[in-house]
Each structure stands twice: as structure tokens, then as C-alpha cells.
């Protein structure tokens, strides 16, 4: 039996200050969206849309008042 290699970290996406509670991927794998809800104010969240073809985020939305599904 061949031993499998450990997975390698390819990229780190930085922006959220706290843990994320939602993630969704573009159907063609061009981008993905992450959401973080403020622990102290549940109705205040931050959403990032990340481009998988470049490093960094495309859009950042702050103060979203409802949960995103």
C-alpha cells in the first residue's frame, strides 16, 4: 500500500477577524463567498467574495443585517 502525502497549503485568504459561519462556491469555481457574524451583535455580519484566480477579495460587505443562506 502506497503511503499518501500530507496535504499542502496552497493559499491563505486573509480578511475575516473571527471565524466564518458560511461558505458558498461559484458553480464554475471562479469565486467563493464567506460570511462572519459578529459574536457580540448577532445581527451584524461581514461578507467577503473571494476570487480564486487571484489572491485577495473582490468585494467586502459590512453590516449585513440578516443571515445569508
Question: Helix/strand/coil (H, E, C) string of 45-56?
Answer: EEEEEEECCCCC
**pLDDT computed for residue 57 by the predictor:** 64
Q: Is the pLDDT of residue 42 over 60?
A: no
Cell digits of residue 57: 477579495
Looking at residue 3, its pLDDT comes to 78
pLDDT value at position 41?
Answer: 59
Gap between the Cα atoms of 66 and 35, Å rounded: 11
Look at residue 59 and give its three-state secondary structure: strand
For 2-41, how does the pLDDT look when each residue is reduced to its tens digit (9 = 90+)? 778 888 887 788 888 888 888 999 898 889 998 887 766 5
- For residue 37, what pLDDT is reported? 79
Place of cell 461581514: 46
Q: Does the predicted model carry a pTM greater than 0.85?
A: no
Which runs of E-coded beta strand occur in the chain? 22-25, 31-37, 45-51, 57-64
Amino acid at each position: 500500500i502506497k503511503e499518501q502525502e500530507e496535504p499542502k497549503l496552497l493559499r491563505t485568504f486573509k480578511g475575516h477577524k473571527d471565524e466564518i459561519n458560511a461558505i458558498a462556491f461559484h458553480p464554475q469555481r471562479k469565486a467563493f463567498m464567506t460570511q462572519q457574524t459578529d459574536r457580540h451583535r448577532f445581527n451584524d455580519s461581514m461578507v467577503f467574495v473571494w476570487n480564486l484566480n487571484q489572491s485577495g477579495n473582490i468585494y467586502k460587505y459590512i453590516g449585513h443585517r440578516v443571515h445569508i443562506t
